[in-house]
Amino acid sequence: MIVLALLLALSSARADEAKEPFFWGVANSAIQTEGEPCDSDWTAWAKLPGKVDDGSTPMQAFGFYRNFEREFDTAKALHLNAFRLSIAWERIEPKRGEFNEEALAHYETMMLALRKRGIEPMVTLHHFVNPAWLTGGLLNPEFPERFAIFAEKVVQRLYGGPAKVRWWSTLNEPVVLALGGYVDGQFPPGEKGNVDHAEEVMAQLVRAHWRAIEKMRKLPEGENLRIGIAAHWRPFEPKNLWSPLDWIASWFSARFFNRAFVDAILTGEINFWTPGAKRVHETLAVAGIRGINYFGVNYYGRSFVHITLSAPYVSISEGPGRKSDLGWEIYPEGLLTTLREVAEYHFPILITENGVADESDLVRTKFLLEHIAMIDRARGEGIPVIGYLHWTLTDNFEWARGMRAKFGLCKAGPGRDDQRCRPSFNVFRHLVRTHITIRN
Ligand code: IFM
């Protein structure tokens, strides 16, 4: 009898979930779109000669901070029901321990503007950028605690206040951030080949995530928050199918890039052991804290791995398929592989980013159709994909690639939507209106 009652309760909970709408949305981040940036590591970095391909800086981003109403109207015209954006830590806390009430109020107004349009706000707390006062950046021992204090402040206001923002991601693409700053040198502080530092930064990000979660969960109704991370996940394949060394190297790459960080986020057990680098091993005291509620996936493509005879002994390259303006291979099948792999963790999966740099817009329509077809296939296999957020609505500042990479469904600049949005905008609108409506 009890079992029967439990089964009934479970199935009615499932039925309730099934009624929830699929999230169709777009994603962006603060410094990449807002304009008028405050003092941060990235604002300083972008001003250094040679750091950004076209010499642009976040100053040139299209002005989302002031023009958010218009951007949200455009999102509404797309019939979106979700909008992912990030909060600029350096705006909220321009000096250590001093919080800017005006900036908090401004973000609250933005969230309410989304709510007014029936669009669910989804907020990222850390998207690659640190306030300038955080000397030493992510390696600063204070970073986890300072980040958690900032996170608590923001969540208190945006969830505790009238905006009631429920959907959060603590970190965006933590491994990309660690590699960008300490291995390939494309992000501040620009170190190259320092895997020890990259691993230590990853550990710092895990600590920061858990510290923030601890504080967020303790807030009134904190248990009802929907918290996740946005992990960049990609299939790694051996370049030479006949080379056992390439197979081993791809396994290690996938383990390092996709899984090691996520495992630490899920368990509180940090265990980073890249061959040739120092091992970072630590067990965080996370027992009793509810970790993530959903798994956010940023998907952009796959990587081929090859062992070489000279340092750094591993080369990572793009596949043979069609390429975006940035030379990244377009590989929709990899989204299905990614979803299958991520499904092993048994969380609802939100595609927190997927998009293509395509100024001519000749590629984006097919890109959208093919990637969304992969979501259909994954859902057909029972994989719980709960939403798709396209990167991005309006062309953004693309880090070391600057303003040249055009990821937008719309161009930055004046004009009505039908003047500034690319043809694929209408395709996406059609998909949103006619395609998946509820979660499975
Ligand atoms: O623009 C970036 C974003 O900041 C993180 N994910 C990948 C996007 C495109 O490169």
pLDDT digits (tens, 9 = 90+) for 22-43: 999 999 999 999 999 899 999 9
Q: Would the pLDDT of 6 be above 80?
A: no
Q: In whole numbers, what is the pLDDT of the chain averaged over residues?
A: 94
pLDDT digits (tens, 9 = 90+) for 219-245: 999 999 999 999 999 999 999 999 999
**pLDDT number for residue 133:** 98
Strands annotated E in 285-384: 295-298, 303-307, 314-317, 349-353
Q: Would the pLDDT of 15 be above 50?
A: no
Instruction: Report how far residue 52's alpha carbon sits from residue 323's, in angstroms, rounded to the nearest whole number.
Output: 21
Q: Which of 132, 300, 283 lies closest to 231 in space, CA to CA?
A: 300
pLDDT digits (tens, 9 = 90+) for 132-152: 999 999 999 999 999 999 999
CA 197 to centroid of ligand 1, rounded, Å: 22
Which range (12-21, 258-267, 341-350, 412-421) has the least confidence?
A: 12-21
Q: Would the pLDDT of 417 be above 90?
A: no
Q: Would the pLDDT of 413 be above 90?
A: no
pLDDT digits (tens, 9 = 90+) for 61-117: 999 999 999 999 999 999 999 999 999 999 999 999 999 999 999 999 999 999 999
**Burial per residue of 305-315, b for 16 or more beta-carbon CB atoms within 10 angstroms, e otherwise:** bbbeeeeeebe
> C-alpha 409: how far from its chain's center?
18
Ligand 1 pocket check for 395: Cβ under 6 Å: no
**pLDDT number for residue 323:** 98
**pLDDT number for residue 423:** 97
* Atom in ligand 1 nearest the alpha carbon of residue 396: 1
Q: Would the pLDDT of 1 be above 80?
A: no
Instruction: Report how far residue 435's alpha carbon sits from residue 78's, in angstroms, rounded to the nearest whole number.
Output: 13
| Pocket-testing residue among 33, 298, 351, ligand 1, by greatest number of atoms within 8 A of Cβ | 298
Ligand 1 pocket check for 392: Cβ under 6 Å: no
**pLDDT number for residue 161:** 97
Give the closest residue (by CA) to ligand 1 atom 2: 398
Higher pLDDT, 276 or 440: 276
CB-CB contact of 268 with 210 (8 Å): yes
pLDDT interval class at 414 (50, 70, 90) = confident
> Residue range 301-307: average pLDDT?
97
pTM of the predicted model as reported, rounded to 2 decimal places:
0.94
* Atom in ligand 1 nearest the alpha carbon of residue 398: 1
Instruction: Report how far residue 129's alpha carbon sits from residue 177's, in angstroms, rounded to the nearest whole number.
Output: 9
Q: Would the pLDDT of 412 be above 90?
A: yes
Q: Would the pLDDT of 17 be above 60?
A: no
**pLDDT number for residue 11:** 40
Instruction: Report how far residue 93's alpha carbon sits from residue 209's, in angstroms, rounded to the nearest whole number.
Output: 18
Ligand 1 pocket check for 391: Cβ under 6 Å: yes
pLDDT digits (tens, 9 = 90+) for 317-340: 999 999 999 999 999 999 999 999
pLDDT digits (tens, 9 = 90+) for 143-200: 999 999 999 999 999 999 999 999 999 999 999 999 999 999 999 999 999 999 999 9
Q: Within 13 Å, how many C-alpha atoms sit on residue 141's CB side?
A: 0
**pLDDT number for residue 309:** 85
**pLDDT number for residue 16:** 45
pLDDT interval class at 402 (50, 70, 90) = very high
pLDDT interval class at 440 (50, 70, 90) = confident
pLDDT interval class at 311 (50, 70, 90) = confident
Do β-strands 226-232 and 295-298 pair in parallel, antiparallel, or remain unpaired? parallel
